[in-house]
Amino acid sequence: MKIQCKRVYDPAEKNDGYRVLVDRLWPRGVKKTDLIFNEWNKALTPSSDLRKVFHAELIDFTHFSEKYRAELAQQQQEGKRLADIARQQTLTLLYAAKNTQQNHALVLAEWIRQY
C-alpha cells in the first residue's frame, strides 16, 4: 500500500497515482482548472469546528489527531475505498497546510493504512 501526502502547491508528478484533495475549503491561490486531481473528498476532512480550534492553537497536534480520528471513525467505508485504491496504485493526499510535519493529511494517511 503506497500513500503519500503532498501540498497542492507542489507540481503533479507521474508517480502520484490517484490524487485526492482532502481539504474542506478550496486552497487559496489555486485555480480549479489548474489543480490536477481525481476527486475532492470532503467527507474525510476535519470538521470546521475542529479545524478552527487547531488553527487558532487552542489544542495541540496530539489532541487534534485524537479528535480527528474520532471523526474519521464515522467514515469507515470511505477509508476502505481509498485503502483499496492505495493497494492498486499510489494514493496521493493533497492538502494546503503550510506545516508539512503536523497536518490532517498525515493523520488521514495513517488512518487509511489501518485498512
Per-residue pLDDT tens digits of the chain, which is 115 residues long: 999 999 999 999 999 999 999 999 999 999 999 999 999 999 999 999 999 999 999 999 999 999 999 999 999 999 999 999 999 999 999 999 999 999 999 999 999 999 9
> What pLDDT is recorded for position 12?
97
Domain count, the chain: 1
> What pLDDT is recorded for position 49?
97
Structural domain span for residue 27 = 3-113
How far is C-alpha 107 from the geometric centre of its chain's CA atoms? 8
> What pLDDT is recorded for position 94?
98
How far is 7 from 16, CA to CA, in rounded Å?
A: 12
**pTM of the entire predicted model:** 0.96
On the CB side of 17, how many CA atoms lie within 13 Å of its CA? 17
> What pLDDT is recorded for position 105?
98
> What pLDDT is recorded for position 59?
97
